[in-house]
Every structure is written in structure tokens, then in C-alpha cells.
Chains A and B, each alone.
Chain A
Amino acid sequence: MLHALGTAVPALVAGGCSGPLSTLDSAGPAARDVATLWWAMLAGATLLTLLVVALLALAFLRRARQGETGAALWIGWLGLAMPGVVLLALLGSALVLGERMIARSEPGLVVVEATGHQWFWDFRQPGAEGAIATRDVLHIPAGRPVHVRIAAADVIHGFWVPRLAGKMDAIPGHVNVLRIEAAQPGVFEGQCAEFCGLDHTGHRFRVIAHDEAGWAAFQRGEGP
């Protein structure tokens, strides 16, 4: 076990939080905001855990009895007031953040369609002459908000590109809209997040974010 730890710690430091599917290695505004929220919550959670551990340790260590401590301190302050304040602040900021992330129309918006099947994805992007259909590869322009209209052909699937944004389920009979945006051109890995049967593991796709020229070429039907 020590040996494993010996190899693990450098890997953690070097590899850090990067990876083709890492939510912490963000490449778009939504994923970046969530990653920031995570680091803030992690800091808060660490503090609170240390507080509890310290209080527990003190309960065993303090030998001199300083008399009974009352319900007001433990239940009033630590049990009600402290978590109440922390939670309200957190809840408020998370709601505001969520408001920023939900799909609403704005200039420069691109709308694409994604349909989950067992076990592949059909995508339709707007082209110069009607929609362009692709399978398992979604093309988007970088630096512009994209609305993905998500549907499912058979069972429930989940559309998720971890480095760009959160996930949204593809539910038969319903159409859900997810907003994604890639800050820079690049290739981003996507995967089906909702268990969808035998080949759920292999139910993956890829998002290619083009620069302006590349996107124009794609819309004309040129390029990869």
C-alpha cells in the first residue's frame, strides 16, 4: 500500500486534475464556473470537517471538567445558526450561478440537435443548405453559445461533455435544451451519462469546436 501511495502522490501532483473527461480541466464558461464552485465548496467542507474532528478530539482530551455546556451553544449556535448561514449563502450563489447557465436565447446562438440511440448519437447541425447530419461527432463553433436540443429514440440517455458543461438527460417523448460553449477550438470527449443498457460503457461521442473559418467551411459541407 505504501508503494502504491508512493507512486500515487507524484501522479496526483503531475497529472493533477487534467484528463479528457475531467470536469476540473474546464474548457468552457459553464464548466469553469462549476469548477470554481467546487473548489470553494471543498475549502468550506474541509474547514467544517476539521471543526468536527477538533471538537470530537477535545471531548476526549479535556480532562478538567469546566462544567456542563448547554443546549444553546451546541444546538442553537453550532446546530442551527452556523449551518443556516452557510447554507443560505451557498444556496443563493448556486441559484444565481444556475440562472446564468440555463439555456436562454441570445445573439450569436447556434442550435444543434442530438438524439440518443442504443448505442450511438445522431447529431444535426445547421449548414449552408439545410441541416448537416453526423453520427457520434458533433460540430460546434468555438466561442459562441450553442443550444443542444436533446431527444432520445429508445431509452433514456444522458448528453454530457464534462470539459464544457453539465449533463442533460435525453428522455423519450421530451426535448431538453442544454447550453454548451467551448472557449477555444479543440476536440472534446462526450459520453452518455444515464445508464442505457448493455453497451452503456461504449456509448461515447466527440465534440469538435471549430474556429470561425473552420465552422464556415463545415457549414458549407467542406472539411472533415
Chain B
Amino acid sequence: MLWAFGFSLLYALHGIGCAGGWDEVAMAGATLFRWALVGTWCLLCLGAVALMRRAWAAPAGFERGLGLVSALAGLAAILVTGAPVVLTSACA
């Protein structure tokens, strides 16, 4: 769930950022655009870790296992699908 939300958020931010010309605004060694995206990505990762901790604390049973594995999968998915924000070039 968080992954779906975060993924859409990154993609939307990317679209708006490119349209708004954020990639031309220099800021502290990188562009405003990259800071915005990398920041969002880090926040999403933190959110996923928090979710993991919550799933860990749930009462035992099939649902707990399922929740835990899903949270873990969500964290991994955010880590990997968000990685292009540091690896690739912005709007080209």
C-alpha cells in the first residue's frame, strides 16, 4: 500500500518537477529537483521501516506473518524502485 502510494508520489513529483523546470534550479551541490526526489525517497524508506516495526508488534498468527512479509516486500520495493532517483539523469 505504502509502496503504491510512494511510487505514484515519486512519479507525480517527477512529472511536475520536470514540467516546472525544477531541474534547472541549482541548490547545495545538486538541483532542487534531485533534492526533492531523493528526500521523498528517504522519507518513504523511513515510513516503510516504521510499518515493519508495527507489523512486528502485531499479535501472532497467519495475519501477522502475512503483514510482516508484505511490509518487508514493501520496504524492498521502495528501496529498489526508488533507486533511480540517484542513479539516472533527471528529465532527458
> Interface on A for B, CB 8 Å cutoff?
88, 91-92, 95-96, 98-99, 102-104, 177
Contacts and interface: CB of A to CB of B under 8 A. Distances in A.
B84 A88 contact: no
Interface of B: 80, 84, 87-89, 92
B87 A102 contact: no
Contacts of A95: 84, 87-88
Nearest to B89: A99
B92 A104 contact: yes
> In terms of DSSP, what is the predominant structure of the interface of chain A?
helix
Contact of B92 (A88, A96, A102): A102
Contacts of B80: 88, 91
B89 A104 contact: yes
A173 B80 CA distance: 33
Contacts of A99: 87-89
Given A104-B89, A104-B92, 4 more contacts: A92-B87, A99-B88, A99-B89, A102-B89
B88 A103 contact: no
B4 to A, nearest CB: 20
B66 to A, nearest CB: 14
A201 to B, nearest CB: 32
17 contacts: A88-B80, A91-B80, A92-B87, A95-B84, A95-B87, A95-B88, A96-B87, A98-B88, A99-B87, A99-B88, A99-B89, A102-B89, A102-B92, A103-B92, A104-B89, A104-B92, A177-B92
Nearest to A104: B92
Contacts of A88: 80
Contacts of B87: 92, 95-96, 99
Nearest to B92: A102
Contacts of A98: 88
Contacts of B89: 99, 102, 104
Contacts of B92: 102-104, 177
Contacts of A177: 92
Nearest to A88: B80
Nearest to B84: A95
B41 to A, nearest CB: 15
